[in-house]
C-alpha cells in the first residue's frame, strides 16, 4: 500500500512538473529587468562588491546563509555524536602505518601554505571567486594533511569549540545589528568603500571571515573525530 501511495505522489508531481516544463518557450527572454539585473546592478553599484555571488549570498539573502551555516553545524554535531562513542583514546588513530619522512617533511612545508591560502580565499571572497565556505574547507584540508602525516598530531577540541562558537555568535550579532540600525537582518550598515579594493563591501568581507573560521573549525573537528574512529 505504501509503495502504491508513493508511486501516485510521484506521478502527480511528475505530471505537474512536465506541464510546467512543456509550457515554457525555451530560449525566450521572460524578464527584461528581473532579479538577475537587480543583483548585477546593485552589487557593484551599491555594495561595491566585485563578486556578485558573494553579494547575493552574504547580503541580499544573508538570512538564508545563516540557515546554511546552521545546517552545517547540526550535521557536524550529529556526526560527531554518532562517532564519539567509537573513538580511540587520544593519540590512537585508525591509520595503522606511519608516514615516511618525506611525507612528514612535506606536510610541515605545505601546512602553513594551505592555511594561508584558506585565509586568502575567505578574506578576498568579495573580490574573487571563493568565500567563507571554500576558505574554511581549505583550512580543514590542511589539518587533515597533518593528521594523516603524523600519528601523534592532535587538535584541541576546546579551541575548535571556542572558535566555532565565537564565529557563530559574531555572525548573529552582526546580523542583529543590521536589523537594529537598518530594517533587515544583516543589512550592510558600514561604509562600502571603493569597488575592487580590499577594504570594500562593508560588512560582507567581515561576515565571510567569520564564516571561514566557523566552517574551518567545524570540519576540522569532524575530521579529527572520524580519524579516531575504531575499526
Q: If DSSP codes are grouped into helix, strand and coil, which group holds residue 87?
A: strand
What pTM value is reported for the model? 0.74
SS (H, E, C) 48-61: CCCCHHHHHHHHHC
Report pLDDT digits (tens) over 135-175.
Answer: 999 999 999 999 888 888 888 888 998 998 899 889 888 88
Report pLDDT digits (tens) over 61-97.
Answer: 777 777 887 888 888 778 777 776 555 454 455 555 6
Contact 171/186 with Cβ under 8 angstroms? no
Contact 230/85 with Cβ under 8 angstroms? no
Report pLDDT digits (tens) over 100-147.
Answer: 888 889 999 999 999 999 999 999 988 888 888 899 999 999 999 998
Please state, in angstroms and rounded to a whole number, the distance separating the CA atoms of residues 212 and 121.
Answer: 9
For the chain, the domains span 52-227
The model's confidence at residue 230, banded by pLDDT at 50, 70 and 90, is low
Residue among 201, 203, 199, 200 at smallest CA distance from 185: 203
Amino acid at each position: 500500500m505504501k509503495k502504491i501511495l508513493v508511486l501516485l505522489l510521484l506521478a502527480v508531481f511528475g505530471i505537474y512538473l512536465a506541464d510546467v516544463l512543456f509550457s515554457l518557450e525555451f530560449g525566450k527572454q521572460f524578464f527584461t529587468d528581473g532579479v538577475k539585473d537587480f543583483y548585477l546592478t546593485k552589487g557593484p553599484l551599491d555594495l561595491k562588491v566585485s563578486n556578485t555571488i558573494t553579494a547575493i549570498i552574504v547580503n541580499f539573502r544573508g538570512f538564508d546563509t545563516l540557515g546554511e551555516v546552521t545546517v552545517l553545524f547540526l550535521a557536524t554535531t550529529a556526526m560527531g555524536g554518532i562517532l564519539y562513542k567509537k573513538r580511540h583514546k587520544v593519540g590512537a588513530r585508525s591509520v595503522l602505518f606511519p608516514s615516511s619522512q618525506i611525507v612528514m617533511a612535506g606536510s610541515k612545508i605545505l601546512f602553513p601554505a594551505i592555511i594561508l591560502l584558506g585565509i586568502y580565499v575567505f578574506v578576498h571572497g568579495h573580490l574573487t571567486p571563493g568565500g567563507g565556505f571554500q576558505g574554511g574547507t581549505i583550512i580543514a584540508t590542511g589539518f587533515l594533511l597533518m593528521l594523516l602525516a603524523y600519528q601523534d598530531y592532535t587538535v584541541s577540541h576546546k579551541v575548535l569549540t571556542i572558535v566555532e562558537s565565537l564565529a557563530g555568535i559574531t555572525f548573529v550579532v552582526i546580523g542583529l545589528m543590521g536589523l537594529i540600525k537598518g530594517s533587515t537582518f544583516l543589512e550592510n550598515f558600514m561604509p562600502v568603500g571603493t569597488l575592487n579594493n580590499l577594504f570594500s563591501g562593508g560588512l560582507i568581507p567581515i561576515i565571510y571571515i567569520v564564516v571561514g573560521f566557523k566552517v574551518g573549525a567545524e570540519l576540522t573537528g569532524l575530521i579529527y573525530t572520524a580519524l579516531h574512529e575504531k575499526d
